[in-house]
Structure 1
Amino acid sequence: MAEGYYDFIVVGAGSAGAVVAARLSENSAWKVLLLEAGPPNKSIWLHVPIGFAKNFTNPRYNWMYTADPDSSINGRQMFTPRGKTLGGSSSINGMIYLRGVPTDFNHWRQMGAVGWGYDDVLPFFRKLETYPEGDSTYHGRSGPIEVTDAAWRNDLTEAFIAAGRELGLPRNDGFNGPVQEGVGYFQLSQKRGLRNSTARGYLKPARNRPNLHVVTEALVERVILDGKRAVGVEYSVGGQTRQARAGCDIILSGGAINSPQILQLSGIGAGELLSQRGVAVQHELPGVGENLQDHYNCKVSTRISRPLTVNDHVKNFPAKAKAALRYALFRDGALTVAAGVVGVFTKSRPELEVPDLQVHFFPFSGDNLAVAPHPFSGVTAIVNQHVPESRGHVRIRSSNPREYPSILGNYLKEELDQRTLVAGVKFLRQMFGATAMKPFVMHEMKPGKDVRSDDEILAYARETGDSCYHLSGTCRMGMASAKMAVVDERLRVHGIEGLRVADASIMPQITSANTNVTTIMIGEKAADMIKADARA
């Protein structure tokens, strides 16, 4: 059954896909189909910022993947949430607005991603954002994603910043400028107290265009190939299989898990793997699904002596009602808190040129985001290494598109990653032990006083560490001659005409920060290149 003919088909309405579809549909002469496996983004908790905690384990809007047992973290299976709705992970993430550092993108260029150096990508970062407070050299004034400074500020957050200053870090309230190192408040992707996802910033203004057709709850099962050219997609809606054809390009924007999965289901990938899984090999491309990278964090949580935390604002019904009323009236307070208020970027070793550690300070404590906070005042700080050496993979288990793929992070496989994370935990303890924090800290809850030596800290990190949910790299960008490259510098799949990938999977190396904003930038740059190629 044929759904129709389009100029462009975009698979996945997430952080990059929503951008690509919205930008391509600006040309009224082009017919654009956007397919999203999840439902529309109608829940209020997709828009109220604190809803990221509620959707952390909500299967309606979250793929809720579970990775394979990972020997590097004591055989644990890492829970791996991914957005499954319009806006994708930008609709359920922690809203921290960070780009990475110039050297990240210059390194991409050196790895064969020509045209992706910092000077090349900066215009697209500026294009996507509205941040009037920032230096116009680095920040945009009229983009779809509005950026605000973290509003949750009190004596406790100021004390944590002062602790960083005690340790020799500069005050930095502009992590997205030329210098990342320092301590200060995060910027957030929020607009007037609401989450500013790509669904809101890009798709909402574009939905009334007659040339943009958005289909939700549409699971793409494979790309249809005619020899070495992609000509359409096969997908299912409501139990019915449909096909749609594209005259120009098909753009996969399913993210670091779904994009390689769709390629493999379409017969594009490592031939041996595909044959073992019952998929006919259409094009040998061994890098598909390899090079998986993520940020792995370890936390230090402490009990606090004063009621200055989110715990205190949601600990009982009267507190929750007061917080809800404040949000309704002023669009601020506990319901606007993101997955971090204060950020720290520092070096684990003095000889490094740029920071290799990132800290999120969150005025909340609990066993995890899926459970209620502690019934007392508490805070959590998590630390992660910027650019890990460990690599994992994403591989289909069978030819069934509804079966979740095999995901393996190998999070602490490499020794450098182990040493860096141990150094990060020691740094957090220095922060909490600083003079500025003494009036607030009662005692450390985790790791606890029995965890002291490097070996004990590493054991704690293996047993309790968590993903930052920044999966990337599984369709890495690079020259055709590069080992394991999947797409070229214009995001075209090597060896297949009419097929591109535009999402976090194309990153040759993970950025030194949360990855969502860079993924949005990838969508902007992809749309710009596609438009240029169509005019050529």
Structure 2
Amino acid sequence: MVYDTIIVGGGSAGSVLAHRLSARSAHRVLLCEAGQDTPPGKVPPEILDSYPGTAYFDPRFHWTELKVHTQVVSHNAPDSDRPPLRKYEQARVLGGGSSINGQLANRGAPTDYAEWVARGAEGWGWDDVLPYFRKVERDLDFDGPFHGKEGRIPVRRIMPEHWDGHARAVGEAFRRAGYRFLPDQNGHFEDGYFPITISNAEEQRVSAAIGYLDAETRRRENLTISTDTQVMALLFEGTRCIGVRALVGGREQEFRGNEVILSCGAIHSPAHLLRAGIGPAGHLRDLGIPVRAHLPGVGQRLMDHPSISLSSFIRRGARMTGRTTRRHIQVGLRYSSGLEGAPRGDMFVAVASKSAWHAVGEQIASFILFVNKTYSETGQVRLASPDWRAEPVVEFNLLSDRRDLERLMGGFRHLAAIQLSDPLRAVTSDPFPASYSDRVRRIGVVNTRNRILTRLIAGLLDGPAALRAWLINRYVVEGFTFEQVMRDDEALEAFVRKAAIGVWHASCSCRMGREDDPMAVVDTAGRVRGVEGLRVVDASIFPVVPCANTNFPTLMTAEKIADAILAGG
């Protein structure tokens, strides 16, 4: 069989494309996903859970060998020490990131999409994309011109009357700091604090796979969903992509198609292009890969939102009870740094009233601060080897623009003042600068050992204040205490440089743009330049990362390009 469309990657974009393209009964679609299926009635409970911390740490749903550099890598001093590699959780399961992420359902600012247009994505301005954001969602709380009511993904908010004690104290602290309460995060884009908008209904996650690949969609005779299917190579006749070679349940197979769409995310989509000889000619020749199309932008200018955390111990009466919700992030804050030239709302804070699934996690709250409008865009994805089994070399180069570093430093000080305000002092103690370290990751793995260990530690933390302070400084804090970073700017800068990580919003490594832009990889319909029969549709084609968690912009992008494909574009 020759398919009309072969989609490589069953994540957020791939799920949307499979649903929309197969709605035309004569259009034959094959969806290939390397991970496991999540069929209706058999979705793993860790994925369905409204609390995402268990799915997120479950290696069954990850590319387990993927590691990245987040700190700046110096290519001018090759003999200098390279920064450490960090595990970077990328989903390997139907639904992709939407099956394991924090379920935050926001869109970004109108100014983001004006910048997309300015960078060459004609037809992707705010007025162009808003109808597709509305098409994605079924808003359970609000109506009006900003909201959809018939989409495949329900969105809702945990309203203040249902916030736990810690979240209520944070809301009061934000109010006293002068911020307005915004009932609707996805209304007018302005500064203030709000109930976080989530892709969730009836206390259960609704991933892209759950929303778009439901039982009715799966019954379509023209749609084939092939999971446990890792694409090894793209197949070509000259410069036309004609299909894929894949490992299906351990057995090699070839599939032919009129068009192939890469929807593997901003790390693995450029890796597929590079292995196919599409990318910077010098890099390809260094690896002995014949150059099919010289596209210097493939894998270049990778972006994410730089992030740090300020954590604290939650007193007993203010912790999450789980009676009304398992959502650990209930309130968020969008604010403006005042940086010259930056748009309003260039900073974002997600407030976690529980930092992990285990007993110690239930005692720790975190302000997760990220640069909503980042200027660091020097990251890259390169091949370590032509071998399809080898993960690529990934360098995010976070904080390569000093404006990001300075805003994180200023943001930490700002949040520290809020943390020390009366509402939060009443429900928390022992603030500390937090790092998402390998030690944190190891104890975050769901197993009996970690369950027992954290119960023992939690019992000690609930003991005398002096013991708690000693335990936090001895076993939780990594390198810098709260007092150090508050009184010493050099210590604060060192902490931010060491602790800053991305927030799993990898994007922009196959950017769309004008034909005369040498760094543009795809056109405004996702078609790869220099070859035929091949598109990229995922967060890698963003011209710049928006001021948002990237899942909903990715869903929007897939909806918009699906329309273009069906219209013959």
TM-score calculated relative to the size of structure 1: 0.90
Q: Which residue of 1 aligns with 2:508?
A: 473
Q: Equivalences for 1:497-512 in 2 at 5 Å? A: 497-512=532-547
1:38, distance to aligned residue in structure 2 (A): 0.7
Q: 1:180 to 1:78 in 2, by over 3 A?
A: farther
Q: What is residue 229 of structure 2 aligned with on the other side?
A: 218
Distance 1:438 1:36 in 2: 48
SS in 2 for 1:291: strand
1:346 aligns with 2:357: no
Mapped partners of 2:418, 2:221: distance in 1? 55
Q: Is 1:414 aligned to 2:401, yes or no? A: yes
Q: Deviations over 1:346-377 (max 9, x none)?
A: 11127554111100100014xxx4x7342773
Matching of residues 271-310 of structure 1 within 5 Å: 271-310=281-320
Equivalent residue number for residue 16 of structure 1:
13
What SS does structure 2 have at the residue aligned with 1:466? coil
| Offset of residue 72 of structure 1 | 6.2
1:337 aligned partner, one-letter code: R
Quote the residue 1:377 is aligned against: 363
- Contact 2:73–2:395 (8 Å) recurs in 1: no
What root-mean-square deviation, in Å, do the aligned CA atoms of Structure 1 and Structure 2 show?
1.9
Is the CA contact 1:114–1:489 (under 8 Å) kept in the aligned structure 2? Answer: yes
Aligned to 1:128: 136
Instruction: Give the letter for the 2:154 counterpart.
Output: E
Report matched runs for 1:315-330 at 5 Å.
Answer: none
Which moved further from structure 2: 23-32 or 482-491?
A: 482-491
State how 1:518-529 maps to structure 2 within 5 Å: 518-529=553-564
CA distance in 2, matches of 1:216, 1:377: 38
Q: Secondary structure at the match of 1:445?
A: strand
Shift of 1:280: 1.7
Instruction: Report the Cα distance in structure 2 between the residues aligned to 1:417 and 1:478, rounded to whole angstroms.
Output: 25
CA deviations on 1:434-457 (whole Å, 9 max, x unpaired) are 233232232313352222233221
Answer with 462-471 or 496-505: which moved more.
462-471
Q: State the match for 2:349 in structure 1.
A: 359
- 1:306, 1:114 → 2: CA distance? 53
Moved more, 520-529 or 441-450: 441-450
Aligned residue type for 1:26: A
Deviation at 1:304, TM superposition (A): 2.5
Assess if the C-alpha contact under 8 Å between 1:174 and 1:180 holds in 2.
no
Q: Structure 1 pair 375/193, CA: closer, same or farther in 2 (3 Å)? A: closer
CA contact (8 A) 1:295 1:385 kept: yes
Partner of 1:174: 184
Q: 1 CA distance for matches of 2:59 and 2:364?
A: 28
Residue identity in the other structure for 2:252? T
Q: Which runs of 5+ in 2 are unaligned?
A: 75-81, 434-480
Asked whether the equivalents of residues 145 and 201 of structure 1 are also in contact (C-alpha less than 8 Å), the reply is yes
Q: Counterparts in 2 of 1:409-448, with a 5 A limit?
A: 409-446=396-433, 447-448=481-482
Tell me if structure 1 keeps the 8 A contact 2:70–2:396.
no
How much has 1:78 moved relative to structure 2? 2.6
SS at match of 1:219: strand
Asked if 2 retains the 8 angstrom alpha-carbon contact of 1:422 and 1:458, the reply is yes
- Find the aligned partners of 2:70 and 2:565 in 1 and give their Cα distance: 39
**Which residue of structure 2 aligns with residue 329 of structure 1?**
none
Matched residues in 1 for 2:300 and 2:182: separation? 36
Please say if 1:40 is aligned against 2:37: yes
CA distance in 2 between partners of 1:69 and 1:468 (Å)? 11
SS at match of 2:520: coil
Task: Choose the corresponding residue for 2:28, options 12, 26, 31.
Answer: 31
Cα shift at 1:145: 0.2
**CA–CA separation in structure 1 for the residues paired with 2:531 and 2:84:** 37
User: Using a 3 Å threshold, how does the CA distance of structure 1 residues 415 and 146 change in structure 2: closer, same or farther?
Assistant: same
Shift of the alpha carbon at 1:71?
4.3
Give distance in 2, aligned partners of 1:457 and 1:375: 24
Is it true that 1:196 corresponds to 2:206 in the alignment?
Answer: yes
Please tell me the residue identity of whatever aligns with 1:501: V
Give the distance between the partners of 2:362 and 2:98, measured in 1 at CA. Answer: 31
Match of 1:108 in 2: 116
Secondary structure, in 3 states, of the residue corresponding to 1:147?
Answer: strand
| 2:158 equivalent among 128, 144, 150 | 150
Give the unaligned 5+ runs of structure 1.
314-322, 327-331
1:451 paired residue number: 485
Three-state SS of the structure 2 residue aligned to 1:513 is coil
The aligned runs of 1:72-83 (5 Å cut-off) are 75-83=83-91
Given candidates 503, 519, 530, the residue that maps to 2:565 is 530
Q: TM-score, normalised by structure 2?
A: 0.85
1:463 offset after TM fit, Å? 2.3
Cα contact 2:405–2:497 (8 A) shared by 1? no
SS state at 1:341 partner: strand
**Residues 104-129 of structure 1, C-alpha deviation per residue, up to 9 Å, x if partnerless?**
01110111000100000000000110
- Equivalenced residue count is 504
Deviations 1:302-323 (A, max 9, x none): 123343224xx5xxxxxxxxx5
Letter of the 1:286 counterpart = P
SS in 1 for 2:194: strand
| Aligned AA (1:54) | T
Deviations along 1:452-510, whole A, 9 cap, x unmatched? 23322121122223221110001001012113110011111111122111100001100
Amino acid at match of 1:22: H
| 8 Å Cα contact 2:143-2:149 kept in structure 1 | no
Q: Which residue of 2 aligns with 1:56?
A: 56
Distance, in Å, in 2 between the alignment partners of 1:448 and 1:496 is 54
Q: CA deviation at 1:241?
A: 1.9
Mapped partners of 2:152, 2:361: distance in 1? 39
The code of the aligned residue for 2:523 comes to: D
SS in 2 for 1:431: helix
Q: Is the 8 A contact 1:72 1:462 kept in 2?
A: no
What secondary structure, in the 3-state scheme, does the structure 2 residue paired with 1:288 have? coil
Structure 1 range deviating more: 346-355 or 77-86: 346-355
Q: Distance in 2 between matches of 1:179 and 1:410?
A: 28
For 1:478, what is the secondary structure of its paired residue? Answer: coil
Matched, 1:386 2:372: yes
> Are the aligned partners of 2:10 and 2:94 in contact in 1 as well (CA < 8 Å)?
yes
Tell me the secondary structure at the aligned position of residue 562 of structure 2: helix
Answer with 36-45 or 441-450: which moved more: 441-450
After alignment, is 143-152 or 407-416 more displaced? 143-152
